[in-house]
Amino acid sequence: MALVVIGGVAAGLSAAARARRISPDLEIVVLEKGPVISYGACGLPYFVEGRVLEANHLIVYTPEYFRKQRNIDVRTGARVVAISHPRREVTLESGAHVRYEHLVVATGARCDTCGPGSLPPHVFTLHTLDDATRLRAFLREKQPRNGVVVGAGYIGLEAADALRRNGLRVTVLERSQHLLLRSDDWWTAQVRKQLADHGVEVRCGVDVRSLDSPAVDFPADVVVLAAGFKPNVELAAQAGVEIGRSGAIRTDDRMETNLRGVFAAGDCAEVGHLVTGRPTWIPLSTTANKAGRVAGANAAGGRERFAGIVGTSIVGIFGKAFASTGLTAVQARAEGFSPVAVQVEAKSKPGYFGGSKTGVELVADRATHKLLGGSVVGEDGAAGRIDVIATALHAGMRVDQFEQLDLAYSPPFATVWDPLLIAAQQMMKEL
Ligand code: FAD
């Protein structure tokens, strides 16, 4: 009997590919309801913007590639409508059944749109290749002048950036008082300034529950809904798979669910958070690929563990990077820590090498002096700097250890006192 994988993008295909490495002779079947597999959703905003010229440039592998090169049977247009674990069998919409010995659920997440039903022709989500293709065609054909983006998470702000670069007047509506998913005033002020500097209006505290709501009473020739994601768990839940408090599928560190032989990974599943020690749901491609690999390995008879995440992400808005990892002070307090936060601004490189201002925030625990999180905002070097903080979180470092890190310096790349170390010195004073 086969290993069956439901979902043919990041987590599902990582699982299938890893399973093949572990077990060269295993029968592996991937069932994907959509028409394409293996595409980089992360590139969709850049296709809408026009920087990525063709939608198919975002497709990494085809079903033929998997069939020929990996001996993996990838079927598109194959929507799974039921899982019967006692019978070790999934049922497709077509009525066909596929039997499994081990199952990987990698069904991803979906946009949390306003209400049920289909969307009006000028309203889009930005989740699939098809969404992006239709949105880009609409921008080209209808030449809209006013755009409204609902939701100021990273997809919403990437969409706002893309619309603005297409010449639209853009308003972003956000339910909370914070931007880019971080409950942090310092961070929100920086995001807000960057958007304002590039002509994007932001209104916080606007809850758009329905598209007919007076809150959407803005001049909008095109609307992009990016008000959050929901994990696709219904199929698994109906089969008896346990759902965690986050609403995503509960897994152990082998990515196995409560049903033996059923694994889950990617945007539909929880993983462990290394700072809080609790299960969390942070749907990102980085996690989907890694957790998918672990699920696939174990489903094929391996013994691998997923270490957990610290919630690292980065997004570019009009050329500036906003990167964060770990907990904000607000989140840390809610988790029972006694957080201290410091913010500094320092040059990314020496002035004579055109260094630009880089903002760094660190959050640490007053009781243990351990780092809990941080963020970096800047035009250059932000990705490397947030990765240093993320590494420190993985290692469970204290601020005095972080302050002593031997970081690289040469004028074209960095300063002798990196902004991270300046922030750490500031934190030591506070502690
Ligand atoms: P998905 O990619 O959602 O794939 C799940 C697949 O399962 C889908 O193809 C779906 O059709 C299929 N499926 C669902 N139900 C069934 C069923 N019943 N039967 C058969 N098939 C089914 N992450 C980052 O880390 N960095 C970024 O910069 C970033 N940018 C992003 C930008 C955008 C616009 C979007 C939408 C996402 C972005 N992400 C980013 C998130 C990233 O794309 C996801 O975390 C990743 O795709 C998750 O992979 P997955 O395999 O778990 O789920």
What are the Cα distances from residue 13, in Å, to 17, 39, 60, 246, 328?
6, 11, 11, 24, 33
Q: What is the CATH number of domain 2-41+58-109+230-299?
A: 3.50.50.60
Length of the chain: 431
- Please classify residue 199 by burial: count the beta carbons closer than 10 Å to its beta carbon, then call 0-12 exposed, 13-18 middle and 19+ buried: exposed
pLDDT value of residue 119 = 86
Residue 63: its H or E element? helix 63-70
Q: Give the CATH number of domain 123-227; options: 3.50.50.60, 3.40.50.720, 2.60.40.2140, 3.40.1280.10.
A: 3.50.50.60
SS3 195: helix
Nearest CA to ligand 1 atom 36: 127
Q: From the CB of 34, is ligand 1 less than 6 Å away?
A: yes
pLDDT band at 349 (very low <50, low <70, confident <90, very high): very high
Q: Where in the chain is the domain with CATH 3.50.50.60?
A: 2-41+58-109+230-299, 123-227
- Which of 79, 285, 289 has most ligand 1 atoms within 8 Å of its beta carbon, as the pocket-test mutant? 285
pLDDT band at 216 (very low <50, low <70, confident <90, very high): low
Task: Please name which of 299, 276, 298 lies closest in space to residue 396, comparing C-alpha atoms.
Answer: 276
Task: Please name which of 163, 128, 184, 160 lies closest in space to residue 323, comparing C-alpha atoms.
Answer: 184
Q: From the CB of 33, is ligand 1 less than 6 Å away?
A: yes
What is the Cα–Cα distance from 301 to 46, expressed in whole angstroms?
39
Q: Where in the chain is the domain with CATH 3.30.390.30?
A: 319-430
pLDDT value of residue 215 = 52
Q: From the CB of 32, is ligand 1 less than 6 Å away?
A: yes
Pair 106, 15: CB distance under 8 Å = yes
Q: Is the pLDDT of residue 218 over 90?
A: no
What is the Cα–Cα distance from 257 to 236, expressed in whole angstroms?
10
Q: Which residue has the tokens 């990705």?
A: 383
Tell me what the mean pLDDT of segment 227-246 comes to.
96
Per-residue tokens: 18:
């890893």
Name residues whose C-beta falls within 8 Å of residue 24's C-beta, 6 or more positions apart in sequence. none
Distance 103 CA to ligand 1 centre (A): 18
What is the Cα–Cα distance from 63 to 36, expressed in whole angstroms?
8
Q: From the CB of 302, is ligand 1 less than 6 Å away?
A: no
Q: From the CB of 45, is ligand 1 less than 6 Å away?
A: yes
What is the Cα–Cα distance from 151 to 348, expressed in whole angstroms?
30
Task: Please name which of 30, 36, 35, 39 lies closest in space to residue 7, comparing C-alpha atoms.
Answer: 30
Q: Which atom of ligand 1 is nearest to the CA of 110?
A: 3
pLDDT band at 212 (very low <50, low <70, confident <90, very high): low
- The 10s digit of each residue's pLDDT in 38-86 is 889 999 999 999 999 999 999 999 999 999 999 999 999 999 999 999 9
pLDDT value of residue 46 = 97
Q: From the CB of 52, is ligand 1 less than 6 Å away?
A: no
Query: Which stretches of 99-229 are DSSP H helices?
Result: 129-142, 154-165, 185-197
Q: Which residue has the tokens 């809850």?
A: 207
CA 301 centroid distance within chain: 29
Q: From the CB of 157, is ligand 1 less than 6 Å away?
A: no
pLDDT band at 207 (very low <50, low <70, confident <90, very high): confident
Q: Indicate the fold that domain 319-430 takes in CATH.
A: Enolase-like; domain 1 (3.30.390)
Distance 246 CA to ligand 1 centre (A): 18
- The 10s digit of each residue's pLDDT in 277-334 is 999 999 999 999 999 999 999 999 999 999 999 999 999 999 999 999 999 999 999 9
Q: Which atom of ligand 1 is nearest to the CA of 7?
A: 7
What is the Cα–Cα distance from 15 to 91, expressed in whole angstroms?
20
Which residues are known catalytic residues? Answer: 42
pLDDT band at 271 (very low <50, low <70, confident <90, very high): very high
What is the Cα–Cα distance from 241 to 257, expressed in whole angstroms?
6
Distance 284 CA to ligand 1 centre (A): 8
pLDDT band at 114 (very low <50, low <70, confident <90, very high): low
What is the Cα–Cα distance from 400 to 369, expressed in whole angstroms?
8
Look up residue 210 and give its amino acid. S
Task: Please name which of 125, 132, 161, 113 lies closest in space to residue 322, comparing C-alpha atoms.
Answer: 161
Distance 76 CA to ligand 1 centre (A): 15
Distance 254 CA to ligand 1 centre (A): 21
Q: Which atom of ligand 1 is nearest to the CA of 92?
A: 19
pTM: 0.95
- The 10s digit of each residue's pLDDT in 19-39 is 999 999 999 999 999 999 988
Per-residue tokens: 386:
């947030």
